[in-house]
Structure 1
């Protein structure tokens, strides 16, 4: 009986063996934490057992005696397969090396201790998620720290000094980006970004939109096994309050992710204008205008979704993005008018604007892989619907305070905007050894309607009367259908990627003035145009850590709706922006020659580029010939026009130098020059502009593991057809310290624009006036941030080391 009992465990339970090993990054010999290891049935592919690696990259799983297919996986790395693996004893697989996934041909991975840059045939990928100086900041702040990118004083984003840049979210146009309105990036939190792709020589896979290139923002989407997340809080001066929660649940069959965010920010700013007039018909010859901006905004953001793994070869993902905004802006504008140096009148204009906006985006993605051994052979299909609704109400009250107190103007504005957009996209990729074939389709169709109602108070009767010459409705449709194909291959040290894209565009606008009889022309338009957009990207490897790249692509710049809407804005009685329905698209041919060299502690990236654009856009300022009814002030308007041509060339240099573990430095420099020529209404607006900008960043680890980061930015002077802009210099500082076991709690403090110097000073010469101006969009900002992580490490070893980009601040 005792003998039978002794053998019961063997009879009733199969014996288990321990499978162990270590997973590292092949390029850096660095352990990969949270890599997943799965043992699957060779009959049906079901997962028998699995686990994840620890901080040292080690794993251990239990398996019964038998034969399995092993799969070792880490996000953005190639999957390692071990087929028909038999275990009949405790086994150590030793060190398993994973290589970074090459989404394009000719990828070169450049890695510093904390700065990660992936250089590919057509783009550079920067991980920016942990830059200390943008903690608690916005997406605009994060983009301002990316090499080649600048964010100017009022939030406009440029690439290599060219503001005609296409911005995508996760590779697609998106309501997240406000349908091209860059103001939204000053409201979304920087913590939402995983990486930024700077695509200066886009392949045929990407939209042909944007003559400067493409900036593709990749939002965070965790795929770590198990349940994990983080909680962040911010507090700043001026007011910068925020709370954010990131949650992720990953099992063998699905991945659920969500990010919730709330921000309450105040962004004070100021401006100064000193304008001298040469028109003898005016009652004065000089105006000094002082503006104070007090912008307040509360925003709620939700980014949630679920990915379901149908089987090992296919998955479907559904996601939702929503943003709700409630903003209140008060602008105080003081105007002093002078005659021969003596002030003879003064007014105060207060504009109180309330804005409610909401954006929703629903996406569905299907991915099918055809080859278990080569998971890049796949088909992806996307369907996306986006909608945006915005309502602005504005009360403008202007009073004269000199020589006597009196009401000059009272105005009640109502602006509404609604936009619906549909995106249908399919991409097929087939690797063939070192070669790769791609083909795809994209349909991007949008419908936008804008309503504008302006009521002015009749100073004699006191009644509000509708302004029939400004109030209007504007309906705009943009429909783009595109197909593309591209083929790439590699022969020894030479790689190429050749592509051709065709895009058919319709731009249709219908303008309905409140009283059509007041106008002697029809503002409606229906523009249809198509074209081929070829791309060429070449790489020659001079050595294992050295290569030369050459790129060519043809691009298009389509006028946006606000550039086509013929009715003027009402932000000022005397300085207005007005669209031009006769504006045509511009086309550009661009060339880019790059060089990369990597040493043990130093990485150098450089390029020179040239672009020629026809019918380039230029904004010109002119006297409308009209005067204000209340006080006979000259009204100037700013309108976009097509110039005949623009030539642009430049060079950029980037250096990553990490001499020791406690010191990391980063330097980039970009020089550009453009020359435009063309005339409008008999006036020549051609100009030559030569400028440059540079960034420097240092990250020092102080005693007690305190991180100290300094970012410096300098932009040289600029000139366009009418305006000279002075240089801008600024410095950002940040300090950070980790606490608790496994560094799960991080506290940081940063100061953006330490010396409060991020201002735009300009001098403008027009036909009938000259103007000196200074503009500061946002004053110095101090922000404290607290982050607590649960069931996840700090991710210091994320992919190839820290994911702190270490790149530097912009304006």
Structure 2
């Protein structure tokens, strides 16, 4: 529907030009008017007006401006005038004679209540669209994201949290699937969020929060899906923007968006460069219980206390560009080719000061440890899409091919010195990790409308991914000696994840009741292979080294909606989903961030499965929108990271703690969330959301019960004020309540962001200033208890930051709130 509408806009302009040339001998008259929204009288920007002759051919036409008005040169004659706007009922005026300069009556357009799959909330007041299976947030108006990253922008989206490590969670659940333009992508790092911390937020058009995914989506992600849609303008001609920013601690960036659209093609590009220095800090204290002469633990009696103070200096340099062209084969079909490139050059330095104390708090030993890590990243993505809109009623076929490749090389030099009781240089070590990832994606989706309200969809997807991780550890046996390869830890791990899927779904509407029923069949093959010189002396005797597993599953989805009236509805969703273990979670060879802390994957991990229910309620008033939902999820074989004492010690006598992921028997999670968007005055906009969830997990490992029960919550609020002199002020606040798992309790966390912006240069330019983490309070404080040790920590990933930005737009309006009423980018439809 949306591609058809924009093609119609394109064709109208082209036909108008041709008709005016061909009919130059005829008299033309200026026709003007205005289009507004029913109920609110808000102007509709980019609505289309078509003048049709007696044969229903388009003679000329145009689109409305930002204030909903239009002015069109029309040849003398009698016409049928058609008014169209995405997600609104078309309006038609017949037998309209044009023989002089004419001002037509204002046209009022109403939301299309018969639309099968969406309920739209006015974008300029609420910035959210609600559909059967998703909520869509247009984040371009968030002042606090100016000069920020994609990861920062996601942290301002309701239901979403991004912790200080950069890990993304949806409703408190970290197993969320990240898609770019509806597909898995190297841009998102194949499940890692590192790339999202390097991409500029200006590259995003919108974010789709999908808590009850329909069958067209990949079943991966028990929490749901975040679909990030990148910018691609659709207006005719040449337009674009340039945004630059500087900040303290040292940060700078430059991002350009440019778009050229003609009657036959649409070329779009987003390019950005970044430089960021991100200092951080952490403190860890591990208190180990004492042991008797036979080596048995003496409960509650501390024998050794080890304290670590860390300072992080992260220097990140990056370049990214996304270039594509859409070529219109016919009025109904097009082919789009796009390429994406991301380059990263990072250097991180971590200084670690460790002090060990005895049970009487006497200093035993002090040492310093410096880790210097360099990382080079290269990500490529090539994609090809074919779209054929058979008619204007939604009959559609899309086919996609995508190729992704990612190369990452990390080199880590670790040096250590004793500073007390004597000065001593300790052996150093070098860790090198080379990770190559390749992914192929092939999919097709077919949509067939049946009658006025029904619709059938079907499609298939093949997703083939291979990750090859070459891990090498070289150590000095004596200080200043030669570096010797550690064969018990060095290895090459190749991990393949192949997923084949087919789906179909059917939707219909009966009066005020709509439904969408779907079924997805997926076959998952997980294969791992280890190449290592020593596979016995690595502590993995209880784990399978090589594995080849197949999992076949059916994933039903049900989405229902009942419209109480045009501005109020109730939704009910059910879906079954899967959580596949990533390569890092199944690599049986340990990796380590320090001598005393290692992470070891578990190749015995099975996928986790979940069944989720979501009951939602939406109510819209003139200036107020309320969204709410109650949800429940039961996950079986859920993943949990546990810590245990390996029984081994470092050369300095410090016990080595191992972290390993395991399958717990079950995880029950239920909660409630609500969001309010309120515009009491033209200059004041309020936005708030609250999410409460409770979870209970059961399971044991190595004879230890890791079951736990806990609840937590988070809330966010935003105030945006339009001040005189075209100045906007926005404050965002976020608070996450305390939480805990089987071993660890985590305190609450508060973060506040502040931003100002001012329009200049006839609204073509904007100056912005924002402060991230105003009170420098975004710190994670945790407390862990086990049978052998007690640990507490404080970790701050990035300190408070100040940013100044400038944006210049050419041939664009500042606010394009009406251009993408159906969600915007065509890529958003690629959801097989």
Aligned to 1:705: 726
CA contact (8 A) 2:123 2:129 kept: no
Normalised TM-score (structure 2): 0.90
In 1, distance between residues paired with 2:728 and 2:384? 41
Structure 1 position 26, deviation (Å): 5.0
Which one of the candidate residues 466, 469, 473 is aligned to 1:450?
469
1:376-391 mapped onto 2 (5 Å cutoff): 376-391=394-409
Residue-by-residue CA offset, 1:88-112 (whole Å, 9 max, x unaligned): 6555554455667899724222237
CA contact (8 A) 1:113 1:658 kept: no
Structure 1 position 463, deviation (Å): 1.0
Structure 1 position 532, deviation (Å): 0.5
1:177-196 mapped onto 2 (5 Å cutoff): 177-196=188-207
Residue-by-residue CA offset, 1:402-461 (whole Å, 9 max, x unaligned): 111212230111110111111111111122211111111111111111101111012067
CA distance 1:81–1:166, shift in 2 (3 Å): farther
Bigger mean CA deviation after superposition, 54-63 or 488-497 = 54-63
Q: State the secondary structure of the residue aligned to 1:110.
A: coil
Aligned to 1:639: 660
Which one of the candidate residues 24, 28, 31 is aligned to 1:16?
28
Structure 1 position 515, deviation (Å): 3.3
How many residue pairs match? The answer is 789
In 1, distance between residues paired with 2:336 and 2:123? 33
1:134-533 mapped onto 2 (5 Å cutoff): 134-280=145-291, 285-340=304-359, 341-372=361-392, 374=393, 376-432=394-450, 433-459=452-478, 462-516=481-535, 518=537, 523-533=545-555
Structure 1 position 486, deviation (Å): 0.7
Q: State the secondary structure of the residue aligned to 2:188.
A: helix
CA contact (8 A) 2:46 2:819 kept: no
In 2, distance between residues paired with 1:791 and 1:542? 42
In 2, distance between residues paired with 1:383 and 1:782? 41
In 2, distance between residues paired with 1:351 and 1:69? 73
Residue-by-residue CA offset, 1:127-173 (whole Å, 9 max, x unaligned): 11120111111111111111111111111111111101111111111
CA contact (8 A) 2:417 2:425 kept: yes
Aligned to 2:796: 776
Aligned to 2:16: none
Bigger mean CA deviation after superposition, 113-122 or 760-769 = 113-122
Residue-by-residue CA offset, 1:219-240 (whole Å, 9 max, x unaligned): 1110011111111110111112
Q: State the secondary structure of the residue aligned to 1:709.
A: strand
Q: State the secondary structure of the residue aligned to 2:777.
A: coil
Structure 1 position 656, deviation (Å): 1.3
Structure 1 position 64, deviation (Å): 3.8
In 2, distance between residues paired with 1:552 and 1:392? 42
Structure 1 position 86, deviation (Å): 7.7
Aligned to 2:690: 669
Which one of the candidate residues 566, 577, 601 is aligned to 2:588?
566
1:591-602 mapped onto 2 (5 Å cutoff): 591-602=613-624
CA contact (8 A) 1:390 1:418 kept: yes
Aligned to 2:712: 691
CA contact (8 A) 2:180 2:228 kept: yes
In 1, distance between residues paired with 2:22 and 2:244? 55
- RMSD value over aligned CA atoms? 2.6
Structure 1 position 702, deviation (Å): 2.2
Residue-by-residue CA offset, 1:44-96 (whole Å, 9 max, x unaligned): 97x86554433322223334456888776667778878899886655555445
Aligned to 1:806: none
Aligned to 1:30: 42
CA distance 1:327–1:800, shift in 2 (3 Å): closer
In 1, distance between residues paired with 2:792 and 2:647? 22
CA contact (8 A) 1:112 1:601 kept: no
In 2, distance between residues paired with 1:254 and 1:71? 25
Residue-by-residue CA offset, 1:595-623 (whole Å, 9 max, x unaligned): 11122222111111111111000000001
Aligned to 2:5: none
Structure 2 unaligned runs (5+)?
Answer: 1-20, 824-832
Normalised TM-score (structure 1): 0.93
Which one of the candidate residues 809, 813, 816 is aligned to 1:789?
809
CA contact (8 A) 2:491 2:532 kept: yes
In 2, distance between residues paired with 1:586 and 1:131? 36
In 1, distance between residues paired with 2:477 and 2:115? 64
Bigger mean CA deviation after superposition, 26-35 or 454-463 = 26-35
In 1, distance between residues paired with 2:97 and 2:385? 37
Q: State the secondary structure of the residue aligned to 1:756.
A: coil
The yes-or-no answer on 1:721 pairing with 2:764 is no
